[in-house]
Structure 1
Amino acid sequence: MKTILVTGSNGLLGQKITEKILAEGRVNLIATSKGLNRVPVVGGYEYAEMDILNAEQVKEVVEKYKPDAIIHTAAMTNVDTSEANKQLCYQLNVTATENLVSLCDEHHIHFIHLSTDFIFDGGDGPYIETDAPNPLSYYGETKLLAELAVKKSKVSWAILRTILVYGITNDMSRSNIVLWAKGALEKGEPVNVVNDQWRTPTLAEDLAEACLLAVENNAQGVYHISGKDYMSIADLVRKVADYWLLDQSLILEISSASLNQKARRPAKTGFVLNKAIKDLKYNPHSFIEGLKIVDEQMRNSVR
């Protein structure tokens, strides 16, 4: 079995990769993240503290375990925070990636890099892998720069771009749109949602599966990984309300311009998944199937 090292293993995607490996045993896992391990199961894999901004620590961990592949999930992903903290965003999203790529080149490690639909301007979605990027935000700029660093390197690499990841797991450091909408509507709070942005939301389990498929198939090149259902953010929230039988009259549709956010968002992204389906045998759940999975996990967690 291959040994993989995952950065950002405390995040939603990182925890889903850990859960999947523990359940299926397809690879050996070295989980790494900043600070203590937040995954409740501690057996069946190794955990190493690793701050991706600490180049010496990263070098020590990579050289200790010498994995066959690195799945790089760690990043600054909050779009407005990235706009307000550009130096830190650059260090986390670009410099840390460059450092990992250099180590992968030195030790012949397959590098799987997570990227985003925000490298596109949203003028012509859904997108295929070869469409021209044109980021609107600093976050998108840094993720594109990281992609370019990977592409110009000599390493064996795959870039997995994704969109609006949702799901639930232990001790989450931040929410996501499904949990936010469900939580607010359950409390009877009105929610403002944009009706002029379109996406193909991604179940975290599907993205975790794609990461493992990329390792197992020694994937090379860029792949678009998301859900298969294309919808507006307003429609997404209405589907959440409908699934959990919540009050849709609390949903207030607004335009993106009225939010006055620090960073611009692309209007229409979404991904065409044909390449991932053909090359990796990627088979994502529908959005409603994804909500059912989240619902079951919530029910199980309170038992």
Structure 2
Amino acid sequence: MRVLVTGSNGLVGSRVCSLFEKGGHTVVGLGRGPRRTGGEYGYASVDLTREADVASALKAAAPDVVIHCASMTEVDACEKDPQAAYAGNVNATAAVARSAQAAGAHLVHVSTDYVFDGEAGPYDEAAVPNPRGVYAVTKHMGEQAARVLAPGCAIARTAVVYGWPPVEGRLNFGAWLVTNLEKGQQVKLFEDQVVSPSLADNVAAMLVELGERRLGGTWNTCGGTVIDRVGYGRALCDVFGFDAGLIVPTRMAELKLPSPRPLKGGLKTDKARTQLEAKPLELAESLARFHATWKAARGH
């Protein structure tokens, strides 16, 4: 099978490429600028906001499946630059969806739990989105673009994705925690935001299965445990042997962040748990795997 993966330099996209490659598929990754990952698969630098460039890249790759991982994910940056957020999360998704449909490829579009307002989580796949803030609104619009322009596509929602090694640039939540706690530095974590922390490798495995089986509809492809961020941090300390006293519980309102964030969030994973072979991992197993890759990277 021929597979094209956008955001292939990213935390999830790089892992999706590796898994497809290991499965014997022909893989092309699309990313911004030079390639920053290993692997033998093909790579092209493409600006996804330029529809003509997207169309030519997909025509050249002639994929059977497209996994659209690329996104503008920095919530506050989106709030400060709505034009860039719209281009990266709506226009780019529309371009990828149109080209996937033209190629006859099955599209798996990666979205987020932030499409919900966080008033009544955790949410299942049938819950009605009510996005707040530029990031959330543009991600929801991206979902709609994918559904309209690539009928039969899969919408794969994930949440608070973490993994080691981190990709270049902004540290993911788990890697940021480990980096600071290892140095004995205090970290402020929200005690009033409930999330579904998701190990990148686990998310990638579910996305690959959605692609290989050409499954459509909405899927919560995230971790299987719903927990507040302080609880996650303390659980991580237990596994890594860090001092949990370094965690400073904070309420979100105290930080006066530019963009709103859902508080009572998280995603229910019953559908993925019962219908996918790649099951959402519970937090204990996710953290054990996270710890193992961290230790291996340090040569322990």
Q: TM-score scaled to structure 1, two decimals? A: 0.94
The aligned counterpart of 1:40 is: 38
CA offset at residue 161 of structure 1? 0.4
CA offset at residue 276 of structure 1? 1.8
Number of aligned residue pairs: 299
CA offset at residue 3 of structure 1? 0.9
1:217 and 2:216 are equivalent in the alignment: no
CA offset at residue 248 of structure 1? 1.7
How far apart are the structure 1 equivalents of 2:270 and 2:221? Answer: 10
**Which of 115, 120, 128 matches 1:132?**
128
How far apart are the structure 1 equivalents of 2:184 and 2:274? Answer: 44
The aligned counterpart of 1:14 is: 13
How far apart are the structure 1 equivalents of 2:121 and 2:255? Answer: 22
The aligned counterpart of 2:109 is: 113
CA offset at residue 154 of structure 1? 4.8
CA offset at residue 11 of structure 1? 0.3
Aligned partner letter, 1:174: R
CA offset at residue 209 of structure 1? 0.6
Query: What aligned pairs does 1:1-303 form with structure 2 within 5 A after superposition?
Result: 2-22=1-21, 24-41=22-39, 43=40, 45-169=41-165, 171-303=167-299
For each residue in 1:158-203, what CA deviation from the matched residue of structure 2 results, as whole angstroms up to 9, or x when unmatched? 1000111010136432211211112112212111111001111111
How far apart are the structure 1 equivalents of 2:296 and 2:231? Answer: 27
Q: Is the 8 A contact 1:104 1:155 kept in 2?
A: no
How far apart are the structure 2 equivalents of 1:127 and 1:263? Answer: 21
Name the CA shift for 1:53/1:273 in 2 (closer, same or farther; >3 Å).
Answer: same
Aligned partner letter, 2:4: L
1:152 counterpart SS class: helix
How far apart are the structure 2 equivalents of 1:226 and 1:94? Answer: 22
Matched-pair identity in %: 31
For each residue in 1:42-85, what CA deviation from the matched residue of structure 2 results, as whole angstroms up to 9, or x when unmatched? x2x21122221222221111111110011000010010010001
Displaced runs of 4+ in structure 1, greater than 4 A?
Answer: none
1:118 counterpart SS class: helix
Name the CA shift for 1:171/1:192 in 2 (closer, same or farther; >3 Å).
Answer: closer
Q: TM-score scaled to structure 2, two decimals? A: 0.95
For each residue in 1:267-288, what CA deviation from the matched residue of structure 2 results, as whole angstroms up to 9, or x when unmatched? 1111111222233333122222
How far apart are the structure 2 equivalents of 1:64 and 1:153? Answer: 20
How far apart are the structure 2 equivalents of 1:108 and 1:186? Answer: 48
2:52 counterpart SS class: helix
How far apart are the structure 1 equivalents of 2:225 and 2:152? Answer: 31
Q: Which moved more, 1:252-261 or 1:181-190?
A: 181-190
Structure 1 portions without partners, runs of 5+:
none
Name the CA shift for 1:3/1:190 in 2 (closer, same or farther; >3 Å).
Answer: same
Name the CA shift for 1:148/1:295 in 2 (closer, same or farther; >3 Å).
Answer: same
Aligned partner letter, 1:65: A
Aligned partner letter, 2:75: V
Q: Is the 8 A contact 2:269 2:280 kept in 1?
A: no
